[in-house]
Amino acid sequence: MPATTTTILDAISASEEAGRPIPDAATRETIAYAPVHTVADLNQAVTTAQAAQPAWAALGHPERSRILHAIADELEANLEELAVLLSREQGKPLDGPNARFEVGACALWTRSAADITLEPELIFDADGARAEMHHRPLGVVGAIGPWNWPMMITVWQIAPSLRMGNTVVVKPSEYTPLSVLALVEIFNRHLPAGVLTAISGGREVGAAIAAHTGIDKIMFTGSTATGRRIVESSAHNLARLTLELGGNDAGIVLPDTDVSPIAEKLFWGIFLNTGQTCAALKRLYVHDSVYEEVVATLAAMAEEMPMGPGLEAGNVLGPLQNQKQFDIVARLVDDARERGARIVTGGEAASELGPLFYRATVVADIDDDAALVDEEQFGPAIPVIRYSSVDDAISRANASEQGLGASVWGNDTEAARQVASRIQAGTVWINQHGTVNPHIPFGGVKASGYGHEFGAAGLKAVSAPQVISY
């Protein structure tokens, strides 16, 4: 029978005396107490994972895939309970493309990791000589996740790793440990002991993962600054890395674009998860011919979208997850206002809803050198920048050190594809933004990291290539 939220929460929570209080993102009331694990706990988890890995690998792909499907079934059976916990801890509402969507995506990505085929590749066959490329388990994967999509991104890390025969040690964000602990609890109902362990610790635990000699692969989603520290810490161990780092994604709306058909996708490309998405649209360059229409359309939609506590039916925008992120958004918008930018809508806290709510904000008549354009806001505030020349818009879009995603919007798909080919980003979407697919590789360029997740490329990223020649 599916467990209730209380049962899952009871299974993962620490006592008040031994744990750390985790607040509800909307109300700031304590949800539960997260365990406080240490570096010693991490060391034990790695030792256990090393011991469990050979037997897990020996099960073979068919059996590991069967187990992953069973896990996906259990995720779906407990979807509502997991979504309620996620909504409370992270802040995203149950409704809309939010908490229920995220838990459902966990099941989808788990099934995808189970089903994608990765056959040996014949890479040479001539003159009586053959060579094949095989993909073997790496060993122990260390997965360090973020707080914005804590369950879904953790599944992106652990499901492919498990499928390929690795064992995994997970460190959730200090802001959202309960969601990840609940996810791991569901996984571990079907996994052998020691195959998957969650370590709910502080920054010192994350640093220890990066430098741990018993970890063969590190997967990290988070800031560029932290990613650089992970590269440095892992250098002496030569652990393989997949880094999905910060994004300051640009969008370009081409001249004479029909705004109405793209409006909804444009809005959610910006404001999905109240803007707290790595690959959200963070800078929007709009041609003179449609500039005011785009600004007015986005502002009207922002004013109409229901915002409030995530457990209240109908809300689709929630709070900022933590005070630090709220302060960043407020600072960037205030700076834009002081520079003379036009705050079309929003631009202030929605304190009547709760401590960390900030109104969906559209900022117009702003220049590239403004902090709101240059820095990743990671919140519900979009700078809309005017341009006259497409070549100029491309140059300005490419000026950022980051290159996670980007998008091009227009009536002519072929023209949009030509522009997309000139943008420096790991993924460029056309007439959409931030849409990911478990079969399509995803990863950044420049300071947005390296390595790919999803699809066969994602499976290869958590395996060791082995060439057999004969």
Domain spans in the chain, listed from the N-terminal domain onward: 5-245+448-469, 249-430
**Beta carbons of 409 and 269 less than 8 angstroms apart:** no
Q: Fold for 5-245+448-469, please state it.
A: Aldehyde Dehydrogenase; Chain A, domain 1 (3.40.605)
Residue with tokens 């109300």: 27
| Low-confidence residues in the chain, pLDDT < 50 | 1-5
Are 151 and 178 a contacting pair, CB within 8 Å?
A: no
Catalytic one among 74, 185, 244, 376? 244
For residue 415, CA distances in Å to 244, 264, 410, 412 come to 29, 21, 8, 5
Residue in the structure block whose two tokens are 């785009």: 294
**pLDDT value of residue 4:** 44
Q: How far apart are CA 277 and CA 405, in angstroms?
A: 11
106 catalytic, yes or no? Answer: no
Catalytic residue among 102, 278, 376, 453: 278
Least Cα distance to 360 among 285, 287, 273, 433 occurs for: 273
Residue with tokens 């023209």: 415
Pick the CATH number of 249-430 from 3.30.750.24, 3.20.20.100, 3.30.1510.10, 3.40.309.10: 3.40.309.10
What pLDDT does 6 receive? 58
Q: 278 an active-site residue?
A: yes
